[in-house]
Every structure is written in structure tokens, then in C-alpha cells.
């Protein structure tokens, strides 16, 4: 079993909620990313989702788009992201790292070469936003050869037949996108999420995490009560956007305060 499944199944066995935190690699500055990852772990994050900067992040809202642009301004490409993961991994052998990005940089590197280099760097999972399982071709095979779990998204609009296929194709955890919309948009309807999550349980033996629209302890708590974990992105990234004005230590401290609050809400949801 890979590092990701070990953690996701381990948390579930212990009746603990998983906290997945998303940041864009290289945002706000490439020098900060590895340090930020360690601080996230210390403040209660279980899994790190690292955004791979792309010129056309079509599923992202304004907050995360801006983060992609900040990272790209520092020439952070896929290769640079893998170097950051390797540096993080040299000091943290336990925390799973999942890359989240768009297909083109991966395709350009080559499925085989990417899988090998990402595996060597210590990447544990991959979410490719614009790659539905039916187009995945031999990427899945290459990923698995190098111990990387493919993770696919489920949406409110996903029908039963597709949901089954997606759950089968996913490893590590299943990621339910709780909103119709881009990252960071709208407010989520807990009842609707609950209904969908309950129906997904029938064919999702894997831990089921919910993301999009969770921004603090207050929004994390009710979702944690129905799902196995939460993914928080835009709320963290929005704090990092102020780094230039406020200094990197200040914004990292802001992030740590937020993640600690969310951790507490997750723990409270099971006590």
C-alpha cells in the first residue's frame, strides 16, 4: 500500500477526519513553498495537495488563478514543482503529497517520464483536472508502476453510472466537488452535499473527501460530520496573496492560524 492509502485508510480506521490543504507550488514565492508545506503539516494538515502552475487553469476561480500567475511569474514549471516535492520529501517521509494540475504539462513531459520522475520525487497521487478517466489512456498504468495514485473528481452533475466508473478508477481517496462552479466560488449547501455523499457511499469504498467552498472551521465542521475529510484551497491561497505587503512570515502565520482552526473543527466533529 502506498503512502496515500496508508494515511487515508489509517485516519478512517482511527475515526479521524482527513484535512487536505491545497497551495499552488511556487506561490507566492518558490522559496516559501517547502517551508509552507512543513508548517501546514505541523498545524494539523494530513495530506498536501500541490497545484502545478498552468497558463490556462480553466477550472479555477479568481483567487487560485492569481496564484498560478504569481508562480508562473517565477518560472515555476512542472520540473520545478517536482524539485520542491523532493526537497519536502527529504525531511518528511510520511505526509502524502498529491499533485493537482492540468494535463498539458504532464503530456509534454511524457506520461512515462512524468510518472517516473514524480515517483522518484516522492509524489503520491495525481489529480488531473481536465482528464476524465475515459481519456486517461496509459497514464494510469505508468502512474501505478511508480506508486502514484490517480484521483478523479466527482461533481454534483455526475450520474450514477459515471460515479461508479470514477470510484473504480480512483485510488487513495475519492474527491467530491461540492459545488457547480470554479474553485473558491459560492457557498455550499450542506444538505445537498449530505444527500450526494450518502448516495456515493454505495460505490465508494474509498474514503470520500469533499472540497470547494470550505473556508474555515465553521464550514468545515458540518461537512466533516458527513464526509471522511475536507479539502481547503482558496481560503489558504487568499491569505498567501498578501505576502508581498505583509511579509512571508506574517502570511504563513495567518495560514497556520486558519489551518489550526479547521483542524480543531474537524476533531470536534467526531468527538
Partner 1 sequence: MTRTQLGINESLTSFPDSAGHFGAFGGRFVSETLMGALDELTEAYDSLKADPAFLAELASDFEHYVGRSSPLYFAERLTERAGGAKIWLKREDLNHTGAHKINNCIGQALLARHMGKPRIIAETGAGQHGVASATVAARFGLKCTVYMGSEDIQRQSLNVYRMKLLGAEVVPVTSGSKTLKDALNEAMRDWVTNVDDTHYIIGTVAGPHPYPMIVRDFQSIIGREARQQFAERQGGLPDAVVACVGGGSNAMGIFYPFLEDSSVRLIGVEAGGDGVDSGRHAAPLNDGVVGVLHGNRTYLMQDPSGLIAETHSVSAGLDYPGVGPEHAWLKDIERAEYVAVSDDEALQAFRELNLLEGILPALESSHALAYATRLASEMASTQHIVVNLSGRGDKDIPTMAKIDGISIG
Give me the residues that bind partner 1 (CB under 8 A), please. 54-62, 65, 69, 72, 77-79, 102-109, 129-132, 134-135, 152-159, 162, 166, 177, 180-182, 185-186
CA 35 to chain centre: 18
How far is residue 150's CA from residue 129's CA, in Å, rounded to a whole number? 11
Q: Which of 127, 100, 104 is nearest to 24 (CA)?
A: 100
Q: Supply the minimum distance, in Å, between the C-beta of residue 266 and partner 1.
A: 25
Q: Supply the minimum distance, in Å, between the C-beta of residue 210 and partner 1.
A: 14
How far is residue 231's CA from residue 229's CA, in Å, rounded to a whole number? 7
Sign of CA dihedral 225, 227, 228, 234: negative
The total of other beta-carbon atoms located within 10 Å of residue 47's CB is 27
Pick between residue 18 and residue 163 the one whose CB is nearest to partner 1: 163
Pick between residue 135 and residue 249 the one whose CB is nearest to partner 1: 135
Q: Can you tell me whether residue 151 is helix, strand or coil?
A: strand
Q: Supply the minimum distance, in Å, between the C-beta of residue 39 and partner 1.
A: 28
Q: Supply the minimum distance, in Å, between the C-beta of residue 127 and partner 1.
A: 10
Q: Who's near 130: CB < 8 A, 6+ residues apart?
A: 58, 59, 102, 103
Q: Supply the minimum distance, in Å, between the C-beta of residue 130 and partner 1.
A: 5
Pick between residue 88 and residue 102 the one whose CB is nearest to partner 1: 102
Q: What are phi and psi of 154, to 5 degrees?
A: -115, 140
Pick between residue 10 and residue 133 the one whose CB is nearest to partner 1: 133
Q: Which of 263, 266, 255 is nearest to 24 (CA)?
A: 255
Pick between residue 7 and residue 193 the one whose CB is nearest to partner 1: 193
Pick between residue 234 and residue 259 the one whose CB is nearest to partner 1: 234
Judged on CB neighbours under 10 Å (0-12, 13-18, 19+), 31 is exposed
Q: Supply the minimum distance, in Å, between the C-beta of residue 167 and partner 1.
A: 12
Q: Who's near 87: CB < 8 A, 6+ residues apart?
A: 34
Amino acid at each position: 500500500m502506498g503512502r496515500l492509502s496508508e494515511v487515508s485508510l489509517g485516519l478512517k480506521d482511527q475515526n479521524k477526519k482527513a484535512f487536505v490543504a491545497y497551495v499552488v507550488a511556487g506561490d507566492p514565492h518558490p522559496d516559501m513553498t517547502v517551508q509552507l508545506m512543513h508548517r501546514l503539516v505541523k498545524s494539523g494538515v494530513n495530506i498536501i495537495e500541490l497545484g502545478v502552475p498552468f497558463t490556462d487553469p480553466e477550472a479555477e476561480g479568481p483567487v487560485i488563478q492569481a496564484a498560478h500567475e504569481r508562480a508562473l511569474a517565477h518560472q515555476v514549471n512542472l520540473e520545478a514543482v517536482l524539485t520542491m516535492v523532493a526537497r519536502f520529501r527529504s525531511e518528511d517521509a510520511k505526509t502524502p503529497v498529491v499533485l493537482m494540475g492540468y494535463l498539458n504539462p504532464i503530456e509534454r513531459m511524457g506520461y512515462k517520464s512524468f510518472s517516473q520522475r514524480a515517483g522518484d520525487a516522492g509524489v503520491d497521487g495525481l489529480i488531473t483536472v481536465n482528464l476524465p478517466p475515459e481519456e486517461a489512456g496509459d497514464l494510469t498504468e505508468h502512474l501505478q508502476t511508480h506508486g502514484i495514485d490517480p484521483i478523479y473528481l466527482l461533481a454534483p452533475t455526475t450520474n450514477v453510472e459515471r460515479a461508479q466508473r470514477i470510484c473504480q478508477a480512483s485510488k487513495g481517496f475519492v474527491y467530491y466537488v461540492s459545488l457547480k462552479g470554479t474553485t473558491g466560488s459560492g457557498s455550499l449547501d450542506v444538505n445537498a452535499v449530505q444527500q450526494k455523499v450518502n448516495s456515493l457511499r454505495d460505490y465508494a469504498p474509498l474514503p470520500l473527501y469533499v472540497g470547494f467552498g470550505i473556508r474555515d472551521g465553521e464550514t468545515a465542521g458540518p461537512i466533516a460530520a458527513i464526509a471522511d475529510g475536507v479539502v481547503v484551497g482558496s481560503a489558504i491561497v487568499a491569505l498567501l496573496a498578501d505576502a508581498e505587503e505583509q511579509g512571508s512570515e506574517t502570511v504563513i502565520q495567518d495560514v497556520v492560524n486558519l489551518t489550526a482552526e479547521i483542524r480543531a473543527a474537524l476533531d470536534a466533529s467526531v468527538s
